[in-house]
Each structure stands twice: as structure tokens, then as C-alpha cells.
Amino acid sequence: MSSSKKSGKQLRSQHSYGKLDRDGFIHRSWMKSEGLPDDVFDGRPVIGICNTWSELTPCNAHLRDIAEYVKRGVWEAGGLPLEFPAMSLGETQMRPTAMLFRNLLAMEVEESIRGNPIDGVVLLGGCDKTTPGQLMGAASVDLPTLIISSGPMLNGKYRGCDIGSGTDVWKFSEAVRAGDMSLEHFMAAENGMSRSPGTCMTMGSASTFACLVEAMGLALPLNGTTPAVDAGRRSLAHQSGRVIVDMVKKDRRLSTVLTRAAMENAIRVHAAIGGSTNAVLHLLAIAGRLGIELSLDDFDTLAGDIPLLVNLQPSGKFLMEDFHYAGGTPAVMKQLDASLNSDAVTITGGPLNDYYKAAEIFNDDVIKPIADPVKEQSGIWVLRGNICPGGAIIKPSAASPELLKHSGRAMVFENIEDFKSRIDHPELDVDENTILVLKGCGPKGYPGMPEVGNMQLPQKLLERGVKDMVRISDARMSGTAFGTVILHASPEAEAGGPLGLVKTGDIIEFDAAARSLSVKISSEEMKRRRAAGEYMPQVGKHKRGYYKLYYDHVLQAEEGCDLDFLVGSSGSVVERESH
């Protein structure tokens, strides 16, 4: 007799595989073409393995191998593992930006999970937008769900030193433009930067989110830091296969783990690790799928007293391998125990503090104790003012402290093409006090909100030794980036936001401690500029396809940039048969 019959509860998959009629014949017969015997359809949990493997996504290029280890664990625990693909979003390869397609991936994952006869799902992702997109889709179905991240690549190596993906690319590029590094050396560094499959080995968006899903209890301990090619990544996958079967048997759904308490834990851990600004958008979007009350301001207020504990690029010195060997996310969470919801339930059914109660710091140059942090200021600070009534954000751990209170004359670029054409012109009217402003790079404006907010500095200033300037945009920036960069200004210019009305020569006042950002013009002048059409959104520029769907329905940054009609959940029930 099947396990579902013994327990008195019919598994979801049995609506397809448990029927002794024509529909059951169809569902089972076609699956038997894969060599599956009769007894695997007799009530054992069917586990979908949602895999974003792709050779166009180097971060995820090894996930076919990882899937095999998940299957071992599922079989061992008495389940039936069935792998299926999902759109893969290669951050470094896709144009105009992978963020444009995060919501499309979420749509695909949601309908793939709902439409197929599975009882639980394992999400295999890694590259920046794959895991958030998968989790958004899974949240709108709410089956038992866990995550296995692809893991960070090995440390980069160049001329006897460790180098970090993204972070050192930005540094080397500026050094070439400043005349401090030869083009020959720059090109040579390219060969040592990416030495294995896996995500950025700096605290980029992918590594950030892999650590946060661990902090939310959605993945097993050390998911965030175990290197992609380490045997521990395969062992973690095997163990996860066992756990997902148990989750199905106990009906431990995603919504029982992913709660407001779990998100609060993620926000606090995010501050301690110096996480990417992109996590703000993803957590807000995921909360919207589950109906969890989470606001942009929560990122500031919940983590206001959390210092930076991890000395990792771009906010510090080391890389993800070093973080892993030093104790990983569990060691950080143990330092934060007094600030965490330690009894929040995890995928194992136990409390979060089971993940870290035995953790230790093995290298306090990499992970600092809370009494002696890397930096006192960390997390995400939320700014407001007449440039950004919907909010803007800054990552203080990656900024220059002397620029966190600054007043300067704006140099405005109307779009990315304008910026690229003028930024290195020798006659550009800028100095080190100028504030660079970039428009037209928000969700609608690009479209897809690209990672261009960490604008290159003017070449003539680099040659004079200037290393940082205040920069403001409605864009995003890579988690690997650094500088005094103000992002996600909302509403974006393309949505009619006041950023679009700022002009070159306007004085902008920025005070991070006061959380304020304003242009020093009157409300009457702002109204006059708006009436004069001094920045005109390009409504209707996309005529068809996904670009049009996205432009017409994408929400603003403070709402997570989901599509308006995707917010919420439709559950897992499908009433009608296919034949």
C-alpha cells in the first residue's frame, strides 16, 4: 500500500499518478518511457528539481552535476526525483540586463511547478537573478521548497595575489583609465579572474542571496559559502535531497519557513556580511508573493545597529573561499544571536539556532566578533527627499565616509548613451565636488534597471587622483561594486519621477546620517519644469513581446520591481485534466 494511503493523506502527485483510469494510464505510461518501474508511482513523494543550468550562465554551469547528488538523496529517502529546466539568466552575458528577465523566470517557474505532478521542489540556482526569480515563482505556488545554490567560484589569482570578480575589474578598469595600469596587465588579469564554475567570489548579489536563503532557513547550513567545486557542495545537495522528501511527508510548505521573522533575519545578516543592494529588490518582491508586510524602510530600521562583521570585497579585503574557511554564515549568525529570531523554523523543521549554535570563527581577520567589527556602519540606508519621494538607497560600508555628507553641483546625463559619450571628454565641467546624476536607467527606462549606477569617474579626475564621487541614479549596481553611490531613486525618471527634472548646475544636498537627498530648487520650479516637459518619458516605445509586458506592468524599486499582476499567490491546485 502506498505511503499516502497509509497516512490517510493523498499526495498532490497522486492526482496524476494514482488514478486507475485513462488519465492515470496517460500520466504513468509516458513517464515509463524513461525506464521508471511501477512501484515509483505508488504514492512516494515526487520531487521536482528546478534546474537553471546553462552553458551561457557560467555561475550555474555545474548544476547538472549537482542535480545528480540531489537525486541520490531523494531516492535514498524514498522519493522520486524528476529534473526539469528553467530559464537561466547569465548576469554577465544577457543584454540589456538580466534583471529585465527575472520576472519572466518567475512566471515560468511558477507555472512549471503548478502545472506538473510534483509534491515538493528543489531550486537549483546561483547567478544573481536565478535564485530570486525561482523563489518568487515557488512562493506563488507554496509547495515544500528548498534551495541549493551553485556556490562561489575559486578565488581569482593574478601576479601572486588574490583578485575578486567584479570588484577588481572595476578597480583595474579605472586604473587603466587613470594611466596607472597598462592595458597589457589588464588583459592578463582576465585569464586569472574566473578559475572555476560558480558565482562571484566577492560578496556580489549571488553570494549575498545564497547566504540570505541560509539565514532564512531555506537552505542547509554553509549553502552560502561552500565553493562550487568543493565536495561539500555535493554532500550538501545529497543531504538536501533527503530533507525535501521529509518536508513533503511533514507538509512543511514554503510559507511555513519563509515568514516575516525569516526576512528580518535575512535583513540583519545582510548588514553583517556587507550584502549587495540588489537583495533589497528581491526580498521585497518575494514578500509581495507571500503577502508578508515588508517595506523599504525595514532595511534601514531593522539593521540600524548591525555592524559589518565580514571583511570581504567590496566592503573589505577577503573573498568567499576565505569566508567559508573562517566559519561561513553560521559563524556570523552566532555573533548576531541576540538580534535574530533564533526560533524561526527552517527546512529541517528545527529552529534557526540549530544552524549556528556550534559554529566558531576560525579566522578573525575574515569574520570579526561583534565587539570588534570591520566597520560600525553597514546595511542599507534609505534616503528620501524631493529627488526621491519613493526612496533611494546607499550601501555605507562600500562608500567613502568623507562623502556621506556632501553638497555639490549636478552634472546630469540624460541616459546611458549620453553618459558614455561625454564622461571622458576633457572639457566636461566637473571637479571632485561635482555630483554625477544619471537618468533613464530604472525598471522602465532602460528597460530592466541595469547595473550602471556605479558610474565610471571622469578620466580627467582619475588622472588627478580622484577615487570617488557622489553618484545618483535610478539604476542598480553590482553587489561587487563600491563607492558613494546612491541607487534606486524612485519614482524613476521614466515613470515621471522628479529625478528626471534635475538639471546640470542644480545644487544637490546629501546627508546620509539624516537620510536626506534633495535638489535645492523650489517646488514651484519643479512644477514649471514638469509643465515644460523638460524630461519626457518614452511611453509606448516598446510595441510587442515581453519588453512591452514588462514596461506596462513593472512596479517601482520600493515595491521590488515585480510585475503588478504577479503579486500574490494562486496556490497549487489545478482542477482540470489535460485530456
238-289 pLDDT, tens digit per residue, is: 999 999 999 999 999 999 999 999 999 999 999 999 999 999 999 999 999 9
- Region 34-62: mean pLDDT is 96
The share of the chain scoring above pLDDT 70, in percent, equals 99
- Region 563-576: mean pLDDT is 95
* Topology annotation, domain 45-155+202-299: Rossmann fold (3.40.50)
* Strand 435-438 versus strand 405-413 pairing type: parallel
pLDDT single digits (tens) 102-123 = 999 999 999 999 999 999 999 9
pLDDT single digits (tens) 180-230 = 999 999 999 999 999 999 999 999 999 999 999 999 999 999 999 999 999
Strand, helix or coil for residue 88: coil
Query: Which helix (H) or strand (E) element contains residue 438?
Result: strand 435-438
E-strand spans in 68-193? 80-85, 120-125, 145-149, 156-158, 161-163
- Region 301-311: mean pLDDT is 96
Beta bridge partners of 86: none
- Region 19-25: mean pLDDT is 94
> Mean pLDDT score of the chain, rounded to an integer?
95
- Region 36-64: mean pLDDT is 96
Beta bridge partners of 392: 383
- Is pLDDT of 6 > 60? no
What single DSSP character describes residue 179? T
Q: Within 10 Å of residue 372's Cβ, how many Cβ atoms?
A: 9
Query: What is the rounded CA–CA span in Å between residue 265 and residue 337?
Result: 10
- Inter-residue contact 137 to 110 (CB < 8 Å): yes
E-strand spans in 430-484? 435-438, 471-473
Closest among 194, 184, 187, 161 to 92, alpha carbons compared = 194
Query: Which helix (H) or strand (E) element contains residue 247?
Result: helix 231-249
- Is pLDDT of 3 > 70? no
The structural domains of the chain, with segments of one domain joined by +, span 45-155+202-299, 156-193, 381-539
pLDDT single digits (tens) 425-438 = 999 999 999 999 99
CA 473, distance to chain mean position in Å, is 19
Q: Tell me, yes or no, if the two domains 45-155+202-299 and 381-539 fold the same way.
A: no
Q: How many residues does the chain have?
A: 579
pLDDT single digits (tens) 153-190 = 999 999 999 999 988 898 999 999 999 999 999 999 99
Burial of 84 (0-12, 13-18, 19+ CB in 10 A): middle
Burial of 271 (0-12, 13-18, 19+ CB in 10 A): buried
> Residue 8's pLDDT is what?
52
- Whole-model pTM: value is 0.95
Q: Identify the band that residue 536 occupies on the pLDDT scale cut at 50, 70 and 90.
A: confident
User: 381-539 belongs to which homologous superfamily?
Assistant: IlvD/EDD C-terminal domain-like (3.50.30.80)
- Inter-residue contact 17 to 45 (CB < 8 Å): no
> Residue 9's pLDDT is what?
73
- Is pLDDT of 365 > 50? yes
> Residue 220's pLDDT is what?
98
Q: Within 10 Å of residue 576's Cβ, how many Cβ atoms?
A: 4
Strand order from edge to edge, sheet including 381-383: 381-383, 391-394, 485-490, 471-473, 435-438, 405-413, 507-511, 516-519
Q: ∠205-495-419 over CA atoms, to 5°? A: 65
The three cell numbers locating residue 97? 540586463
- Is pLDDT of 480 > 60? yes
